[in-house]
Amino acid sequence: MTSVRGTSGDTGGRGGGVRRLSRRGFLAGTGTAAAGVAVGTVTGALPAAAAPSQGAGSGPVPAVEVGPGDPRYPALVTGFNQRFTGTPAAVVVVTTADQCLQAVRVAVAAGRRVTVRAGGHCYEGFVTDNPGGVVLDVSGMRAVTRTDDGGTRLESGCTNWDVYELLYKSQGVTLPAGSCYSVGLGGHVVGGGYGLMSREHGLTVDHLSAVDVVVVDADRSVRLVTARPDDPETGDLFWAHTGGGGGTFGVVVAYTFRDLPAPPPTVQLATTTWQWSALDAASFATLLGNYGGWLAANSAPDSPGRRLFGLLKLSHVSAGTVTLVTQASGEDPALLDGFLAALDAGMPATALPATTRRTMPWLQATQTLNGSGPNQRGKYKSAYLRRPFPEAHVAALHAALTDPSYSNPQALVQVDTYGGQVNAVAGGDTAVSQRSSIMKLQYQTYWTDPAEDEVHLDWIRRCYASVYAATGGEPVRDDVTDGCYVNYPDVDLRDWPTLYFGPNYGRLQEVKGRWDPTDQFHHAQSVRLPGR
């Protein structure tokens, strides 16, 4: 992102023209209207849709307004987490930056709150819970272009899989983003997204060079700004988008990345399974100790171990098994062999696992590991660990996962490997301040019956509170834990500003005050204006 002053009507991608990559399945913004896409009925307070295109190549797919009377409305106001269904005045589906800009202008002029949906994967109700407001759906904005200076501009509606497939096939590179490939970039990147290549290549934001964002000024005028790190005018806005979380500063239209890494041509995948019937409290503690111990020794930025990423799924005992999925770059088995052997150290023979292994092209492995899963009701919590599990954490996890009063095979605590190149960046260089951890935990439980909500919510809350009982029920930022991940939002958190952002929160508030002074973009855990 080189120096550019965003002005009203500025469509981003400055510093020269763009060259559009050929691709399949992306809305280019200049193609014909897609079959079945109709112009919505406008309520008067919301933006009118563009006229339908006439003939091939004559214009963009028009914007569409979907209101409560439209049969599509229930689907568009329900998130991936089906606990949350909203009642906005309308959902406006846009396919170009100009449509996005116009939709925000009309909504702001009408006094309607704007929330933004890309992939729809927000874990809480921050997007759809917008009664009487406007949900701006950017999922149709999937253009991928090359800038004249060699950057790659990805519109915010692109999903992880869109990006993985196109970038690899066309350029031989990737973005070190998440394994759930239906997640949209719009919210994933701004929260500091990570994935299986992050130990080797850092976070998504570590490769970011520009962000195009619709902002609302103090006089409630609306403009599109291209923010760049070396621009004295917009550098603070750029920095805020390197981990400040979605729904706070404006509407992200596109991200530009530079120097994207090449993934390995092939990777090794291993699935390791322990039977719960063979794991007692002692062997469970040995397993977690081995896992954390290996990471403590192999998570420095220059460690050869950074080429390995593991997802340890500590499922509830009712699932029958504990599972580890591991990916190691390249075909040399030594790294993966050493890791799996380290996990066996000190384990009783009766508790040793079964492992299946395969070597695959990286792209096919990435597709194989998709973790999105079905649409269900869910609750999530998170924590960063700076060192191996303390004994009290292990004991509390074992008690919760073997709780006889609760039975749900879809309840688990997933422990992802972390560190490596993630920790090569200083905590203040990006808005992501957690740059010294070796593990990232995601507490999860899923179900389908609304009548069971309290049962599942009660279990995960008790589990979490028991693990962090010594620090008030939350993973405070100390020498053991380092707060929580903003992309796994949790409305139960009391001190969420510190847990998510740590020492960066004050600076984020300053950016908020400058770029969204009327607090147009807000939700239950968005960055507050200064003094609030």
Query: Which of 89, 115, 137 delimits the end of a domain?
Result: 137
List CB contacts of 349: < 8 A, sequence separation 6 or more: none
In this structure, are 240 and 378 located in the same domain?
no
pLDDT band at 94 (very low <50, low <70, confident <90, very high): very high
Among the listed residues 415, 374, 375, 410, the one whose alpha carbon sits nearest the alpha carbon of residue 394: 415
**Overall average pLDDT of the 265-270 stretch:** 98
CATH no. for residue 158? 3.30.465.10
The DSSP code for 345 is T
In this structure, are 218 and 86 located in the same domain?
no
Decide if pLDDT at 49 tops 60.
no
pLDDT band at 442 (very low <50, low <70, confident <90, very high): very high
In this structure, are 301 and 167 located in the same domain?
no
In this structure, are 426 and 473 located in the same domain?
yes
In this structure, are 348 and 435 located in the same domain?
yes
Strands 354-361 vs 266-275: parallel, antiparallel or unpaired: antiparallel
In this structure, are 425 and 330 located in the same domain?
yes
Q: Is residue 455 part of a domain?
A: yes
285 vs 45, more confident:
285
Decide if pLDDT at 513 tops 90.
yes
Res 200: pLDDT? 98
Res 59: pLDDT? 82
Q: How many residues does the chain have?
A: 532
CATH no. for residue 359? 3.40.462.20
Q: Is residue 112 part of a domain?
A: yes
Q: Is residue 19 part of a domain?
A: no
pLDDT tens digit string along 182-233? Answer: 999 999 999 999 999 999 999 999 999 999 999 999 999 999 999 999 999 9
In this structure, are 276 and 351 located in the same domain?
yes
Pairwise CA distance, residues 388 & 38, whole Å: 55
Q: Is residue 49 part of a domain?
A: no
Decide if pLDDT at 279 tops 60.
yes
Decide if pLDDT at 252 tops 90.
yes
**What's the whole-model pTM score?**
0.90
CB contact at 8 A, 58 and 30: no
Pairwise CA distance, residues 251 & 249, whole Å: 7
Decide if pLDDT at 284 tops 70.
yes
Full domain range(s) for residue 194: 144-262+506-515
Number of domains in the chain: 3
3-state secondary structure 233-301: CCHHHHHHCCCCCCCCCCEEEEEEECCCCCCCCEEEEEEEEEEHHHCCHHHHHHHHHHHHHHHHHCCCC
In this structure, are 511 and 382 located in the same domain?
no
pLDDT band at 41 (very low <50, low <70, confident <90, very high): very low
Res 277: pLDDT? 98
The SS3 of residue 165 is helix
In this structure, are 436 and 469 located in the same domain?
yes
Output the six-digit token pair for 334: 């030594």
In this structure, are 102 and 229 located in the same domain?
no
In this structure, are 246 and 298 located in the same domain?
no
Name the residue type at position 41.
T
40 vs 419, more confident:
419
Say if residue 2 is exposed, middle or buried (CB neighbours under 10 Å; 0-12, 13-18, 19+).
Answer: middle
Measure the N-to-C terminal CA separation of the chain; round to a whole number of Å. 31
Q: What is the mean pLDDT of the chain?
A: 90
Decide if pLDDT at 45 tops 90.
no
In this structure, are 247 and 391 located in the same domain?
no
Q: Is residue 57 part of a domain?
A: no
pLDDT tens digit string along 298-348? Answer: 999 999 999 999 999 999 999 999 999 999 999 999 999 999 999 999 999
The DSSP code for 42 is P
pLDDT tens digit string along 446-480? Answer: 999 999 999 999 999 999 999 999 999 999 999 99
**Overall average pLDDT of the 396-407 stretch:** 98
Count other Cβ atoms within 10 Å, centred on residue 220: 13
Res 56: pLDDT? 54
